[in-house]
């Protein structure tokens, strides 16, 4: 993603395999939105979500 972001991309996140721990990738329409999604992805394994 460029510094200006990618307004056509839907916000979200994903985990990926990483030898040291866990990898996270956040994406969104702006850098701020991508950072927010990466933070959510990082916290997801630590909390239980009922649903």
What pLDDT is stored for residue 4 in this prediction?
A: 46
- Taking the whole predicted model, whether its pTM rises above 0.85 is answered as no
CA distance 15 to 26: 9
What pLDDT is stored for residue 51 in this prediction?
A: 65
For residue 50, the Cα-to-chain-centroid distance in whole angstroms is 20
What pLDDT is stored for residue 33 in this prediction?
A: 92
Contact 41, 14 (CB under 8 A): yes
What pLDDT is stored for residue 32 in this prediction?
A: 93
Counting residues of the chain whose pLDDT is more than 90, the rounded percentage is 10
Dig out the tokens for 22 from the structure. 């866990």
């Amino acid at each position: 993603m460029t510094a200006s972001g990618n307004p056509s991309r839907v916000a979200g996140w994903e985990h990926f395999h990483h030898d040291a721990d866990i990898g996270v990738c956040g994406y969104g329409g702006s850098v701020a939105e991508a950072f927010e999604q990466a933070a959510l992805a990082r916290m997801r394994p630590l909390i239980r979500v009922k649903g």
